[in-house]
């Protein structure tokens, strides 16, 4: 599962991309960015995939 939310920060907002393990309801990947481009989501997904391969 994945989610994108924004955090109001000065002077602009920050977008937080989260990837969660559906079964455990645990965050397995995340990335914060100043824009809403696919790169932030890709980095969160990469982190999730790395955490899966290391366990």
Give the separation between CA 12 and CA 10, rounded to whole angstroms. Answer: 5
The pTM (predicted TM-score) of the whole model is 0.83
Nearest to 43 by CA among 55, 29, 53: 29
Sequence-ordered strand ranges (E) for the chain: 2-8, 13-21, 26-33
Task: Give residue-wise pLDDT tens across range 1-55.
Answer: 899 999 999 889 999 999 999 888 899 999 999 999 999 999 999 999 998 777 6
Could you tell me if 19 and 1 are in contact, meaning their C-beta atoms sit under 8 angstroms apart? yes
Counting every residue, how long is the chain? 55
Could you tell me if 30 and 42 are in contact, meaning their C-beta atoms sit under 8 angstroms apart? no
- Domain ranges in the chain? 2-53
């Amino acid at each position: 599962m994945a989610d994108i939310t924004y955090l109001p920060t000065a002077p602009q907002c920050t977008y937080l991309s989260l990837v969660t393990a559906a079964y455990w309801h645990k965050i397995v990947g995340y990335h914060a960015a100043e824009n809403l481009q696919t790169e932030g989501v890709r980095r969160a997904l990469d982190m999730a995939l790395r955490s899966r391969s290391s366990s």
